[in-house]
Amino acid sequence: MRKLVIFLIVLIVLLVAVDRVAVAGVQRDLANRIAAAADITGTPTVTIEGIPFLTQALAGEYPEVRFDLGTLAVGGVSIRNLRGAAYNVRAPLADVLQNTADIRAERLAVTGMLTKATVDKFAPQGVKISGNGRRLVASGEVPLGGNRVKFSAELRVELGDGGIRLVAEKIQGVPSQLAQFVTYTIPFQGKLPFDVKVTGVKSVPGGLELSAEGANVPLRG
């Protein structure tokens, strides 16, 4: 009986070790594929969620694969902490071993941060951006009757054609009609990784957090 218990313990340890070695190898493969699909030069950090891994590998389906792309510049706009998750990733084991797999994610979600410095970079001349954690605040000077007059305003954030639009409202110090001189757009001239579409943006303590999603996303190596 004792020998059987020892054998089972050794077997479990070996299976766990094989499982961890296998997951490390597939994570490296997926990291390379994600880097190619996202068109980045570095190697992202990839984590396959769920255990045991071998069960997922044999089935050729991974419910959740998380990745971290770091900081990227998209059309001149710096996006920090670009990370996300690929859900229901289909990767038949036989195809992976032969490096012929058409790996796809049923859904892929990405989030990233535009810092206050980036938001401030695109602001109109004379306008500075700060924030209170809930909303961004614009302050500075705008032209009025040949002079430049100090103002402050809250900024409403919304998605617009070609970028993120910051609309001045509750402006103080100048007539409300001058809010147009404070309203501006942060353009996205390039494509986000995986060609995902921006679906939301919100004000957070560090600046602006954007979210994007895509469906049936290929992860090609």
Task: List the alpha helices (DSSP H) in 39-155.
Answer: 53-59, 93-97, 116-121
Q: What is the pLDDT of residues 31-85, one digit of tens each?
A: 666 666 656 666 677 777 666 556 666 667 778 888 888 888 777 788 888 888 8
User: In the chain, how long is the greatest CA-to-CA distance?
Assistant: 96
Locate tokens 């792309």: which residue?
A: 69
Cβ burial of 216 (10 Å; 0-12, 13-18, 19+) is exposed
From 27, 16, 10, 83, select the one nearest 51 (Cα to Cα).
16
Q: What is the pLDDT of residues 137-174, one digit of tens each?
A: 888 887 777 778 888 888 888 887 778 888 888 888 88
Q: What is the pLDDT of residues 72-120, one digit of tens each?
A: 877 778 888 888 888 988 877 666 656 666 778 899 999 999 888 888 8
From 2, 10, 36, 49, select the one nearest 194 (Cα to Cα).
36
Q: Look at the alpha carbons of 110, 116, 117, 122 in this order and tell me if their dihedral is positive or negative.
A: positive
d(CA 25, CA 18): 11
**Which residues fall within 8 angstroms of residue 166, CB to CB, at 6 or more apart?**
119, 136, 138, 155, 156, 157, 183, 184, 185, 186
